[in-house]
Amino acid sequence: MWDYSEKVKDHFYNPRNVGVIEDPDGVGEVGSLACGDMLKLMFKLDDEGKIADVKFQTFGCGSAIASASALTEMIKGKTLEEVSRITNRDIAEYLGGLPEQKMHCSVMGREALEAAIANYRGEKVAAEEGEIVCECFGVTDKAIERAIKENGLTTVEQVTYYTKAGGGCGKCHDKIQGIIDRVIKDTGGGIWRVQPERKKMTNIQKMKLIEETIENEIAPALRKEGGDIELIDVVEDKVIVALRGKCTQCLLSGWTVQNFVQAKLREFVSAEIVVEEAKE
């Protein structure tokens, strides 16, 4: 039996915002009967562009229903700009966690939301592009790549838990491994040291953690080489730093910022951190 959190149970037993909006501004539909789960999400905006009403219908297991219900609660009253930043991890965290094998339910929530926003804006959904890797569940390389990056996945099994890809006949396992290897290579592996279950931080907490990480994990190594680093600013996930001392003359300073400073901050703070050098 799955070990569902109390919050998952609550949202499953008493799903919020079930139903249909007659003339929605955006509708997103993902999954299919054949895949075993399907989610239809629709919203209506108010005059200020905030989500005034949101409804869903779903065919799926307990965690699929709970994820959809939680998502509607999370996005109500927010602007599309705000909700477009919601990741599948946010949904899972909102629910007090999901069993890893069920993470694909949170991914389905995020995908439905994206599809609904794209529908409103008259755009194509990113996940629909790309090449189908898993034919059993119709999952594209783009969707797999994104789940790997957003959740720090390292094994084919995990990719299956998060996207369903590879959960059928198993023929695509080599291809999935290939995507994992490529993403690890492209990103220098920094995101894989992130603890996926890390708690959400407030901005103040995040800034403090960035400061501490620079002071304890990054600066000492640079100082040893006669260089130094100064934190200039933090704008959401963008961290602006300035290299000092010998670092300023170093031809490899760009490499240092990307592969050392950014990797450390991703490891200790958040996988989403992007580090930039201050332009002075």
Partner 1 sequence: MRRVYADNNATTRVDDRVIEEMLPLFNRIYGNPSSMHTFGAEAEKKMRQARERVAEFIKADPSEIVFTGCGTESDNTALFGTLEAYPDKKHIITTKVEHPAVLNPCQLLAKKGYSVTFLSVDSEGMLDLDELRDSIRDDTAIVSVMYANNETGVIFPVEEIVEIVKERGVVLHVDAVQAAGKTPLDVRKLNVDLLSLSGHKIHAPKGVGALYIRRGTKLRPVLVGGHQEKGRRGGTENLPSIVGFGKACELAAEHLPEMNSRVRAMRDRLQEGLLRAIPDAYVNGEESPRVPNTLSIRFEYVEGESILLLLDREGIAASSGSACTSGSLEPSHVLRAMGIPYTSVHGSIRLSLSRFNTDEEIDYILEKFPPIISKLREISPFAQAAPIPKKA
Spatial distance between the Cα atoms of 195 and 221, rounded to a whole number of angstroms: 23
Does position 242 interact with partner 1 (CB under 8 A)? The reply is: no
- Minimum distance from residue 169 beta carbon to partner 1 (Å): 9
List Cβ neighbours of 226 (8 Å cut-off, separation of 6 or more): 245, 246
The site that binds partner 1 (CB under 8 A) totals a number of residues, namely 28
Give catalytic status of residue 105 as yes or no.
Answer: yes
- Minimum distance from residue 273 beta carbon to partner 1 (Å): 33
- Minimum distance from residue 55 beta carbon to partner 1 (Å): 11
Give catalytic status of residue 172 as yes or no.
Answer: no
Spatial distance between the Cα atoms of 58 and 77, rounded to a whole number of angstroms: 22
* Token reading at 120: 């409103």
Among 252, 237, 239, 220, which residue's Cα sits nearest to residue 278?
Answer: 239
Which backbone phi and psi does 228 adopt, to 5 degrees? -165, 170
Among residues 57 and 79, whose Cβ is nearest to partner 1?
Answer: 57
Among residues 4 and 260, whose Cβ is nearest to partner 1?
Answer: 4
Amino acid present at 55? K
List Cβ neighbours of 262 (8 Å cut-off, separation of 6 or more): 190, 239, 273, 274, 275
Spatial distance between the Cα atoms of 236 and 233, rounded to a whole number of angstroms: 10
Does position 11 interact with partner 1 (CB under 8 A)? The reply is: no
Cα 198 from chain centroid (whole Å): 13
* Token reading at 100: 């890893």
Among 153, 205, 157, 217, which residue's Cα sits nearest to residue 180?
Answer: 153
- Minimum distance from residue 73 beta carbon to partner 1 (Å): 15
Does position 204 interact with partner 1 (CB under 8 A)? The reply is: no
Of residues 123-182, which lie at the interface with partner 1 (CB under 8 A)?
A: 137, 160, 164, 167-168
Among residues 31 and 227, whose Cβ is nearest to partner 1?
Answer: 31
Q: Nearest 5°: CA angle at 5, between 155 and 114?
A: 60
Exactly one of 5, 16, 18, 45 binds partner 1 (CB under 8 A); that residue is 18
Among residues 112 and 194, whose Cβ is nearest to partner 1?
Answer: 112
Among residues 33 and 251, whose Cβ is nearest to partner 1?
Answer: 33
Of residues 41-100, which lie at the interface with partner 1 (CB under 8 A)?
A: 57-62, 64-65
Among 223, 249, 198, which residue's Cα sits nearest to residue 93?
Answer: 198
In the stretch 93-112, what mask flags binding to partner 1 with x, by CB under 8 A?
A: --------xx----------
Q: Considering 105, 134, 172, 247, which one is annotated as catalytic?
A: 105
Active site residues per annotation: 35, 105
Binding site for partner 1 (CB under 8 A): 1, 12-13, 15, 18, 20, 29, 33-34, 36-38, 40, 57-62, 64-65, 101-102, 137, 160, 164, 167-168
